[in-house]
Amino acid sequence: MSILDKIKEANLVGRGGASFPTAVKWEAVKNAPGDKKFVICNFSEGEPGVKKDHYILEHYPEKVIDGIKLAMEFLNADKGYVYINPEYHKEFFEKLSELTKETKIEIFKKPHEAGYVGGEESTALNVIEGTRAEPRLRPPFPVTKGLWGCPTLINNVETFFNVSLVNSGDYKKMRFYTISGEAQKKGVYEFPEDYAIERVLKETGNFPDFSFFVQVGGDGSGEVLSDQQLAKLAGGAGSITIHKPGKKKPKELMEDWINFFYSESCGQCTTCREGTYRLKEILASNKPNWTMFLDLLKNLKETAFCGLGSVVPVPIFSYIENVLIINEQTDEEVKNLVEAYKKFKI
């Protein structure tokens, strides 16, 4: 059985956050016309609160490299890249160099200034080519026009790890979960991919004995859920961050999210560059204009050039919807936000 058939049979999906079917992407690159093809392992891992790729490379680097080799062999690729952030490059370069010697795989350090957006797949292409660290307009997609205009396969570290397991017959439909925040036993854990958030927290000894809410999928772009909504799967990048109400005021928490996106915006599109600045400005005001705040978030969702800008509303809208609205608010400012949101939703 070919590696593609094995991946299809395993129903493997990407672990970079989008959960796109792995076999579909591999087949698209295979069928794309072009004399040269490339493979990239995206080890940027810039989403706050996500440490699974670090854990994998710390414990299973040979599996990751094996997955890359399998992809290169399948595609008859000219070259492969491990696209790695500066912090991890310093830690793992020697180990990766040893594993990739006498191969066509290059360890490529992502520049520090590329930041969070440097982990977006089309931005990674630009960075490797030596151009500006900003997203590309899509289509065309990397599978048909990637590095230097050639078909390019880009997968996450955990995806290549799983490909290796699929090939050896050891894949058990597991995934990695990063647990952080107000957790008793923080860390990275491996459980079946169909485990609900509640079960992951309980089986790791991290289910709080106090009222709480969680942010799932990353501390920047992840969805916020109440402690009554934990029957959902821990999707996205597989992270679960526990928050204790009252530790931070709602406005402070929203400022954390907006400040992150503002500082990480590449500045390419006006929507994101100016939008995150205005959101930051509104939150800094003594009397925030919540109607304008919500309108700006909606505009970002609908018009931002890349994924960074379009996910800015996710934590804030879900926080208002799943936490602030269901809990009676005493703070006048937060009550005004909730009322503005209710009108906004009509």
Please write the tens of the pLDDT for every residue from 101-156. 999 999 999 999 888 889 999 999 999 999 999 999 889 999 999 999 999 999 99
Given 168, 199, 231, which residue is the final one in a domain? 168
Given 208, 243, 278, which residue is the final one in a domain? 243
We report the CATH number of the domain holding residue 279 as 1.20.1440
Tell me how far apart the alpha carbons of residues 241 and 38 are, in angstroms, rounded to a whole number: 35
Closest CA to 152 of 238, 52, 261, 29: 29
Question: Residue 202 has which token pair?
Answer: 């309980």
Mean pLDDT of 191-211: 97
224: Cβ contacts below 8 Å, ≥ 6 apart: 213, 214, 215, 216, 243, 315, 318, 319, 322, 323
Please tell me whether residues 14 and 161 are part of one structural domain: yes
Greater confidence (142 vs 328) lies with 142
pLDDT exceeds 90 at position 268: no
Please tell me whether residues 113 and 195 are part of one structural domain: no
Tell me how far apart the alpha carbons of residues 249 and 329 are, in angstroms, rounded to a whole number: 11
| E strand segments, 87-196 | 105-109, 152-156, 174-181, 187-192
Mean pLDDT of 16-44: 94
We report the CATH number of the domain holding residue 30 as 3.40.50.11540
Please tell me whether residues 153 and 187 are part of one structural domain: no
Mean pLDDT of 176-199: 97
| E strand segments, 205-247 | 213-216, 223-226, 239-243
Give the β-pairing of 187-192 and 105-109.
Answer: unpaired
Please tell me whether residues 160 and 191 are part of one structural domain: no
Please tell me whether residues 156 and 195 are part of one structural domain: no
Of 164-173, 239-248, 316-325, 326-335, the range with the lowest mean pLDDT is 326-335
Given 184, 219, 243, which residue is the final one in a domain? 243
Please tell me whether residues 192 and 212 are part of one structural domain: yes
Please tell me whether residues 128 and 184 are part of one structural domain: no
Tally of residues, the chain: 346
For residue 318, what are the CA distances in angstroms to 63, 262, 285, 311? 37, 19, 22, 11
Of the chain, the percentage scoring pLDDT greater than 90 comes to 82
Domain of 341 in residue numbering reads as: 250-345
Please tell me whether residues 164 and 178 are part of one structural domain: no
- Angle, helix 250-264 to helix 270-284, in steps of 10 degrees: 150
Q: Where residue 328 falls among pLDDT bands split at 50, 70, 90? A: confident
pTM: 0.94
Of 35-49, 59-73, 102-116, 303-317, the range with the lowest mean pLDDT is 303-317
The helix (H) or strand (E) run that includes residue 274 is helix 270-284
> Phi and psi (nearest 5°) for 187?
155, -170
The helix (H) or strand (E) run that includes residue 150 is none
Of the chain, the percentage scoring pLDDT greater than 70 comes to 100
pLDDT exceeds 90 at position 29: yes
Tell me how far apart the alpha carbons of residues 263 and 116 are, in angstroms, rounded to a whole number: 9
Could you read off the pLDDT of 213-250 as tens digits, one per residue?
999 999 999 999 999 999 999 877 889 999 999 899 99
Please tell me whether residues 272 and 189 are part of one structural domain: no
- Collect contacts of 287-291 with beta carbons under 8 A, ≥24 apart: 288/251, 288/333, 288/336, 288/337, 290/336, 290/337, 290/340, 290/341, 291/340, 291/343, 291/344
Closest CA to 271 of 299, 292, 229, 251: 299
The domain tally of the chain equals: 3
Q: Where residue 318 falls among pLDDT bands split at 50, 70, 90? A: very high
Please tell me whether residues 92 and 120 are part of one structural domain: yes
Tell me how far apart the alpha carbons of residues 67 and 41 are, in angstroms, rounded to a whole number: 9
**pLDDT at res. 346:** 67
- Bridge partners (DSSP) of residue 243 are 213
pLDDT exceeds 90 at position 264: no
